[in-house]
Amino acid sequence: MHHTWKTDTRPSDITPEAVWRERRRFLRQAALAPLALGVMSRAGAASNDAPSGPVLAARKNARWSVDDPPNSWRDITTYNNFYEFGTGKGDPARYADKLRLTPWTVRVDGAVRRPLTLDIDALRKLAPQEERIYRLRCVEAWSMVIPWIGYPLAQLLKQAEPTEDARYAVFTSVVQADVMPGVQEGILDWPYVEGLRLDEAMHPLTLLTFGLYGHELPAQDGAPMRVIIPWKYGFKSGKSLVRIHLQATQPTTSWMRAAPQEYGFYANVNPAVPHPRWSQATERRIGSGFFAARIPTLPFNGYAQDVAGLYQGMDLVRNF
C-alpha cells in the first residue's frame, strides 16, 4: 500500500471540528427534537470546546481513515484513561497539565543496529505528519472516533535497523511521580509498559501519534508522543512514551502482570471473546447521547480486512 501526496498541507486539509460538531448537533436535534433545547444550550455554552494548543500541520490520509463522525474535542480531552493521573475519567484532564514536556527524548534500543536517542522535535519531523481518523475501542466497552495526527511507527523503527532478534517491541511510558497522583497510589506497576509483535508494530495502521484535531496532543491524551493501534483495545496504545525497546521475547505488560486472566498480550478487539467480567459484543459510543443504542463491536474493531492476516492459524480465544 502506498500513497502519493499532491501538495503541501493547507489548513483546509485538516478536519475542522466545528464542521463535524455542527453536523452532529443537527443530527442530534433531528433525532431528539424534544430534547434539542437542552442539548443545544450545553453545546452552545461550551466556548472552551475549540481545539487548542500548538498547531500541528498534517495531510489528511483518506485511505487509513474511517467515515464515522469524530468525537468532539471536549469528549476526547475530558474522558480519558491515563492511570498515572488517577482512575477517574476526569482525572487526566484535571492533573496532566503538570506533566513536564520539555526536554523530552525517546530512546529506541535493544535488538537494533543503530540505537537512537531522539529529541521530540526531531521525532515530529522524522516523517510527514498525516491526519487519520481512527476508531478507538476501549476494553471497558466504550468507543470514540478520533482524528489523530502522526506517521507509521515503521518509519521510526526502520531508522533504528532492527536485527534478526527483534521479534517484539516494548513501549515504556514516562514516570514523573511528583506530578502523577496515580503513581503515588501504586495502582499498577509503573512505568506503564505495553508491547506488540514486531509485525504488528510495523503494520501501516500502527501510528506514532503526536497530535489530534490539528494540534499537538494535550497531556491527558499522551503528550508529546504515544502509539495508536486501532484494531486492539485502547490499553495497548501507551501514552507519553520515552522508550521503545526491541527484543526477542514476548514482554509481560503492565496489565498482564496486574490481571493475567483478564488482559492478554494480543488484546485484539474481538466481540466473540468476552472479558471475564463483561461482554465485548457491543460498545457505547461516547457523545452519542443518553438514549443512543449500543452499537455492535466489530472484529478487529472494523480493521479485519487489513490485519486479520497477521493472526492466520492462531487461536484467538486462547491468544486473547
Q: Are strands 168-173 and 116-119 parallel, antiparallel or unpaired?
A: unpaired
Q: Whose grid coordinates read 491468544?
A: 319
What is the DSSP track for 87-102? Answer: SSTTHHHHHGGGS--S
Closer to ligand MTE by CB, 111 or 205: give it: 205
CA dist., res. 10 & res. 49, Å (int): 23
Which of 104, 151, 192, 303 binds ligand MTE (CB under 6 A)? It is 192
Cβ at position 221, least distance to ligand MTE in Å:
4
CB-closest chain residue to ligand MTE = 234
Assess contact for 166 and 110: CB atoms under 8 A. yes
Does 134 sit near ligand MTE (CB under 6 A)? no
Which cell numbers hold the place of 205? Answer: 495502521
Does 20 sit near ligand MTE (CB under 6 A)? no
Which of 239, 243, 245, 285 binds ligand MTE (CB under 6 A)? It is 239
Does 211 sit near ligand MTE (CB under 6 A)? no
Cβ at position 317, least distance to ligand MTE in Å:
22
Closer to ligand MTE by CB, 192 or 213: give it: 192
Does 215 sit near ligand MTE (CB under 6 A)? no
Q: By CB under 6 A, how many residues form the interface with ligand MTE?
A: 17
Rounded to a whole number of angstroms, the CA Rg of the chain reads 19
Cβ at position 222, least distance to ligand MTE in Å:
6
- E strand map for the chain: 59-60, 105-110, 116-119, 130-137, 142-152, 168-173, 193-197, 207-212, 215-216, 226-228, 241-247, 282-285, 295-296
Does 171 sit near ligand MTE (CB under 6 A)? no
Assess contact for 251 and 264: CB atoms under 8 A. no
Q: Which of residues 21-60 bind ligand MTE (CB under 6 A)?
A: none
Residues making contact with ligand MTE (CB under 6 A): 80-84, 136, 138, 173, 192, 221-222, 234-235, 237-240
